[in-house]
Amino acid sequence: MTELGRSVIFFSTPTSGNGSMFRAISTLAEGSLEAVRWVDDLYKAGRIQDVALLSPPPHGALIKHNAPERFNPATRLSHYRFILNARDPRDMVCNQYHWQFSHPVLNETPEQTAQRRASVAQEGIDAFVLRHDNGPYLKGFVDAARRIAPPDRIFIGYAMYCLHFEEVMARLSDFLAIPLASIPARNRRRIGRERVENLATNRHWVGQRWAGADTAPGRHRHELRPETIAELTRRYSGFIDFLRRMDDPRVTHTYD
């Protein structure tokens, strides 16, 4: 299989800026790779269980895979290249709390939605994040990432994407062998709309549709009690250490 023929899997933890990042990457790779929202398509078709049983198309595609807990362990990793994205799990679980009040759930009735949201509101964010277990997502991500040959992967991360957007796009350009200068001006403008400072006017940003979206690392420090943060830090210490090792030194302070 040729280098240029391999599909690229954008492999991400959930609620980690993956919608914006996938739009930016797919715009960069337009004409070279076909954007495929593989997990989303299976979910909408009522076949989410197939994510753990199937492998994405191995040729010519940019594949969005944001269900690491369902990553098929039989996937021939050497048939793909990987762009890895993850965020601080303490921030991720805060996102999941806020999304309870806006994000739709497939096949949920309006009555069920109202009941679920009332229950979560009564529970409060601290109790929710302590009850919610993201272990399967994080384990699935690390288990897959560690098996990918280093030349076949690049780690971006939510913190770098928010704080050093230009550097991230330059690294992606090098990884995909698509010079930024070679893409049409209209595509460069589309990529620029994904900058944090431009999201307020970006009609595709998730925050335009659903409340609770954030645009910077560290939301858990402002939203959770100190004792809750201490427990989450203990619970997710292994993944936080993994992020410190994988990420750029300029943003490792965000994991303190």
Q: What does the pLDDT read at residue 113?
A: 93
Q: What is the mean pLDDT of the chain?
A: 92
Tell me, what DSSP letter sits at residue 36?
E
List, in order, residues 6 or more apart from 8 with CB less than 8 Å away.
29, 33, 61, 62, 63, 80, 81, 82, 83, 176
pLDDT per residue over 76-94, tens digit each?
999 999 999 999 999 999 9
78 in any annotated domain = yes
Ramachandran angles phi, psi of 180, nearest 5°: -60, -35
Q: What does the pLDDT read at residue 197?
A: 75
198 in any annotated domain = yes
151 in any annotated domain = yes
> How does residue 155 score in pLDDT terms, banded at 50, 70 and 90?
very high
Q: What does the pLDDT read at residue 1?
A: 36
Range of the domain at 57: 7-88+134-212+239-255
Per-residue pLDDT averaged across 202-206, rounded? 60
Domain CATH number, residue 197:
3.40.50
Question: Lowest-pLDDT range, 95-104, 119-128, 202-211, 229-238?
Answer: 202-211
In the chain, the number of structural domains is 1
173 in any annotated domain = yes
pLDDT per residue over 32-83, tens digit each?
999 999 999 999 999 999 999 999 999 999 999 999 999 999 999 999 999 9
Looking at the predicted structure, is the pLDDT value of residue 2 above 50? no
110 in any annotated domain = no
d(CA 213, CA 215): 7
> How does residue 202 score in pLDDT terms, banded at 50, 70 and 90?
low
Q: What does the pLDDT read at residue 193?
A: 87
Per-residue pLDDT averaged across 137-144, rounded? 97
d(CA 115, CA 113): 5
* Residue bearing the bigger pLDDT, 2 or 9: 9
Question: Lowest-pLDDT range, 79-83, 98-102, 220-224?
Answer: 98-102
Per-residue pLDDT averaged across 128-142, rounded? 97
> How does residue 106 score in pLDDT terms, banded at 50, 70 and 90?
confident
Percent of the chain with pLDDT over 70: 92
pTM of the model: 0.92
Burial 139-148 (b: 16+ CB within 10 A, else e): ebbbebbeeb
Looking at the predicted structure, is the pLDDT value of residue 127 above 80? yes
145 in any annotated domain = yes
SS3 category, 108: coil
97 in any annotated domain = no
76 in any annotated domain = yes
Per-residue pLDDT averaged across 135-158, rounded? 97
